[in-house]
């Protein structure tokens, strides 16, 4: 576990940092549409329809259709669109005015679910909720933007997210196309709960989350690589995985970012270490055999896959005590790589990313990022 990154390679990465930043900026510049929306502030809710989130959110790349179900372990028809709040689970609201036809536990895999009936033979479904608000009961009338519950991972689910369905005349349709046609595109932007033009709360305050406030112990001495190599900007797709894995396993995402920076500069340094460690988070094959897992729901755990590696690192840290306070964090990092300088390097990077997310950009607002699809 955890290779010792060669000083020469990391110095080279630091020297190349301006070029990497330029490439990152250039890459962002060619994006079109609403890719920058999550960092561009909130938009007011308007018209009869709105997104089901109040805060910024990410969209799973896979929506309605047949796919492999990571819980059922078979091909299954996925009838909706999966989305996840940033930086962590937040309130779920009604996308339009309607009447509650179902609110409670579903035994087929939806977990806590709310179904709303709208005009024109349209129903919407909100599944895997952690909780359902007490006023939301069968027969109740709800308004557009009214809170239905809180995002969760109940039922046949492997992580916090909202499973959102649209049913028209008893047939499930693509939520993305349906909402876009009604002037409420699911584009990741924060939208105030009850209309208006005010800015939504900052991401760190819009959904209080214990993971975001977990105390990180300060770095001590000695340090090694972090003395010479500043924390580099986090690529947007990698950041999304850090945030997602952190919330899934209850550890600060900055801790994963610290390891990713120390090990491979967030994937900029590739290849297998001299000790045999592989992947963005540098797992030894023997450790991977115990803690490696499928992080992107494709049915296999691949040591070289970024999603699998990052989620497996969070899994390993959790098993090693990282949820047990500052002392547990240090103990987990030492288990990851048995060197005090390594622990202090990672904590230095993690603390820097917490104070200045992303290094040179706000890492909590990944432009154009998408989360994996959970069932």
Are the beta carbons of 313 and 2 closer than 8 angstroms? Answer: no
Lowest mean pLDDT among 12-21, 92-101, 267-276, 310-319: 12-21
| Rounded average pLDDT over 180-200 | 69
In a domain, 122, yes or no: yes
Instruction: Give how far Cα 193 sits from Cα of 94, 134, 182, 208, 285, Å.
Output: 9, 18, 18, 16, 47
Query: What local confidence, expressed as pLDDT, does residue 59 receive?
Result: 82
Are the beta carbons of 317 and 249 closer than 8 angstroms? Answer: yes
Query: What local confidence, expressed as pLDDT, does residue 85 receive?
Result: 87
- Is the predicted pLDDT of residue 357 greater than 90, yes or no? no
Phi-psi region of 118 (alpha: psi -120 to 50; beta: other; left: phi over 0): beta
Query: What local confidence, expressed as pLDDT, does residue 353 receive?
Result: 84
Distance CA(227)–CA(209), nearest Å, equals 31
In a domain, 281, yes or no: yes
In a domain, 191, yes or no: yes
Are the beta carbons of 112 and 190 closer than 8 angstroms? Answer: no
Last residue of a domain, one of 173, 199, 225: 199
148-162 pLDDT, tens digit each: 999 999 988 878 889
In a domain, 372, yes or no: no
In a domain, 342, yes or no: yes
Lowest mean pLDDT among 279-288, 340-349, 363-372: 363-372
Choose between 79 and 334: higher pLDDT: 334
- Domain match, 85 and 147 both: yes
Query: What local confidence, expressed as pLDDT, does residue 344 receive?
Result: 95
Distance CA(356)–CA(348), nearest Å, equals 12
- Domain match, 234 and 337 both: yes
- Does pTM surpass 0.85? no
- Domain match, 222 and 351 both: yes
- Domain match, 87 and 189 both: yes
Query: What local confidence, expressed as pLDDT, does residue 355 receive?
Result: 75
Instruction: Give how far Cα 262 sits from Cα of 115, 280, 315, 342, 354, Å.
Output: 46, 10, 18, 8, 16
Name the pLDDT band for 271 (thresholds 50, 70, 90).
confident
- Domain match, 126 and 231 both: no
What is the dihedral sign for C-alpha 223, 224, 229, 233? negative
Choose between 211 and 325: higher pLDDT: 325
- Domain match, 136 and 180 both: yes
* Mean pLDDT score across all residues of the chain: 77
* Domain span holding position 114: 42-199
């Amino acid at each position: 576990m955890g290779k010792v990154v060669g000083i020469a390679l990391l110095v080279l990465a630091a020297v190349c940092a301006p070029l990497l930043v330029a490439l990152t900026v250039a890459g962002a510049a060619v994006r079109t549409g609403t890719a920058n929306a999550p960092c561009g502030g909130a938009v007011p809710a308007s018209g009869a329809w709105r997104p089901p989130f109040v805060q910024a959110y990410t969209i799973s790349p896979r929506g309605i259709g047949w796919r492999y179900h990571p819980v059922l372990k078979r091909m299954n028809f996925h009838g909706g669109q999966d989305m996840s709040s940033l930086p962590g689970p937040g309130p779920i609201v009604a996308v339009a005015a309607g009447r509650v036809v179902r609110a409670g536990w579903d035994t087929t895999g939806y977990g806590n679910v709310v179904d709303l009936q709208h005009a024109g033979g349209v129903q919407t479904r909100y599944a895997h909720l952690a909780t359902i608000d007490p006023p939301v009961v069968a027969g109740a009338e709800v308004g557009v933007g009214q809170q239905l519950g809180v995002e969760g991972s109940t039922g046949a689910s492997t992580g916090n997210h909202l499973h959102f369905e649209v049913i028209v005349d008893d047939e499930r349709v693509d939520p993305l196309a349906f909402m876009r046609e009604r002037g409420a595109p699911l584009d990741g932007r924060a939208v105030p709960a009850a209309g208006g033009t005010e800015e939504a709360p900052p991401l760190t305050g819009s959904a209080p989350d214990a993971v975001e406030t977990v105390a990180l112990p300060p770095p001590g001495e000695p340090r090694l690589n972090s003395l010479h190599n500043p924390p580099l900007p986090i690529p947007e797709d990698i950041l999304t995985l850090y945030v997602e894995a952190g919330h899934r396993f209850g550890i600060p995402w900055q801790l994963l970012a610290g390891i990713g920076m120390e090990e491979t500069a967030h994937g900029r340094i590739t290849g297998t270490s001299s000790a045999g460690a592989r992947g963005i988070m540098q797992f030894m094959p023997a450790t991977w055999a115990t803690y490696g897992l499928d992080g992107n729901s494709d049915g296999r755990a691949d040591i070289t896959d970024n999603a699998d590696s990052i989620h497996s690192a969070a899994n390993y840290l959790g098993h090693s005590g990282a949820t047990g306070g500052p002392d547990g964090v240090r103990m987990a990092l030492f288990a990851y790589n048995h060197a005090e300088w390594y622990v202090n390097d990672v904590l230095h990077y993690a603390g820097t990313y917490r104070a200045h997310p992303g290094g040179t950009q706000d890492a909590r607002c990944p432009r154009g990022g998408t989360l994996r699809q959970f069932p």
